[in-house]
Amino acid sequence: MSSRIVFAQKGRRDGLAYPRLWAQTGAHVTLLADCCASSALDFVPGLRWAYGRFDPARLCAGLNDLPMSIHSVLGSPVTACQLYMGRHLGKADGLDRHCFGDRVFGRWAADRLQAGGQANFVAGYSGSSLEFLEAGSKTGAATAVIQVDAAGSNLDILRGEGSRDCLFFGRSGESYHKYLNRLREEWQKSTVVLVNSAHTQQCLITQGVPAHKLIIIPIPFFGEIVSASALEERLNLASGPLKVLYVGSVSILKGFRYLLEAAKGFKAQEVVFSVVGSRSPSCKDIPIPNNVRLLGRKSRNELAEVYRQHDVFVFPSLSDGFGLVQLEAMAAGLPVIASPYCGEVVENGISGYIVEPRKPNDICQAIGSYVDDRKELFKFGRAALDRVLRYTPGAIVSSFPGYRQLLPLINGPESA
C-alpha cells in the first residue's frame, strides 16, 4: 500500500520538485497550491488540476502516471481573494504583506487537510505552513517543514552589506521578528526540518534548530541534459569573446555587486556577461560595465536557449538554499563558478570552481582560466554533464542519506 503524502506549496518555488520526487517513488501525493502555482504546473506533465475538487475535464490527456491530485485556492474564492488583497496592503512593509498571505494560505491548507482524511506524512515550505503543520500533527502524521534559505542569517548578511534590500524585512524590527518567530514555531512543531544544503543546515543550527532534527535533501533536477556530442559541436562552432551567464534575482544577497566588479576586469573583446533576472532596489543604481548585458526576466522555455548561447555560468551568491540554476546550467554543459554558500553542487577544479564571492579577483581568475584555454570548456562542461546525473530523482532516492533517513517517517518503521 502506497503512502499518502499531503504537500502544501504557496507560490512556484522549485517547480514542485519535492512533491514530484515523492510521487515518482510511488507515494500518493496530494498537492495543496495557491493560485500562483498554476504556471508551475507546466513543469509537471500529467498532474491533475482541480478547482477545490478533482475535475476530470481538466485532466492532461494521456498523462496520468503520477499518483498526485492537486487542489487550489481557486476553488475557494474567499481565500483566493484574501491572498490577492494581501499583496496590496497599502503602506504595509513587504514582509507584513508576505506574512499575511502566509497565514491565509496556512489556514486554508489546514482546513483542506482536515477535510481530506488521514495522511502518513505532511510537508510544506517555510513561512506558509505553520497552521497546516499543526493540523497534521493533530492527526498523528509525521510533519516536515522545508526551510528554503538561511532565514535570519540572510538578514545579517544584508545588513553587513549595507543593503536596502533589508526593507523587505520590515522598516521596523518588529516585522522581521514576527516573521522569524513564525519560522521558529514551524521548526519547533515539525517532526523534521528539511534543508537542501549543508550551508542552510549550519545556519539553522546557529539559530537554535537541533542538529538531529535537520535532514539534507537537495532539490532534484527534472530537466533535459544535453549530450556530450552536442556540447562538443556547439563549442566547435563558438567564436568571439567568452560568454558568461548569471541567472537569478539581481540583488546584493546574490553577490551581484561582486559579479560586476569581476566584469570590470575584462575587456568586452575578451569576455561578455549576460544577466537574467529582475533587479532589486539595492541594485537599480549600480553602474553597469559596458561588457554586461541585462536581459531581464525570462520564461523557462526562453532560459533553455539562453543557457545554450553561453560558455560559463557564474553564481556568486552570499547565501542561497541551493541554487537550482546551477544544475540547469550544468545540464546545458556549462562549467559553473559558484560560492561555497549555495549547495554542494560544483566539484572544485572538475565541473567548475568554488570561489569566495566577496573576492572579485578570484572570480576573475576562475573566468580567466577559460579565456586562456578554450579546450577547458569542453573538459569542464563534460564533467558538469556527469555531475547533474547525481541530482536526478532516481539518484537522490538511491544515493542521498537524507532521503533514506526520511523514509521511516513517510512509510513507517518497516521501511527503514
What cell was used for 174? 518588529
Q: Residue 236, Cα to own-chain centre: how many angstroms?
A: 33
**Bridge-based pairing state of the strands 68-72 and 336-338:** unpaired
**One pLDDT digit (tens) per residue for the chain, 416 residues:** 357 899 998 877 777 789 888 888 888 888 888 755 444 344 343 333 333 333 333 333 323 445 577 677 766 766 767 666 665 555 556 677 778 888 989 999 999 998 887 889 999 999 999 999 999 999 999 999 999 899 888 878 887 887 555 545 544 567 778 889 999 999 999 999 999 999 999 999 999 999 999 999 999 999 999 999 999 999 998 889 999 999 999 999 999 999 999 999 999 999 999 999 988 877 888 899 999 999 999 988 899 999 999 999 999 999 998 999 999 999 999 999 999 999 899 999 999 999 999 999 999 999 999 998 888 999 999 999 999 999 999 999 999 999 999 999 988 655 54
Kindly report the backbone phi and psi dihedral angles of residue 34, in degrees, each rounded to the nearest multiple of 5, phi listed first: -85, 175
Only one residue has cell 572544485, namely 348
Domains of the chain: 4-221+393-415 (3.40.50.2000), 228-391 (3.40.50.2000)
Nearest alpha carbon to residue 107 among 87, 83, 90: 83
DSSP alpha helices (H): ranges in 56-213? 77-86, 94-115, 130-138, 152-160, 173-189, 198-206
pTM: 0.87
Helical pair 375-388 and 360-372, crossing angle rounded to 10 deg? 110
Nearest alpha carbon to residue 265 among 368, 336, 349: 368
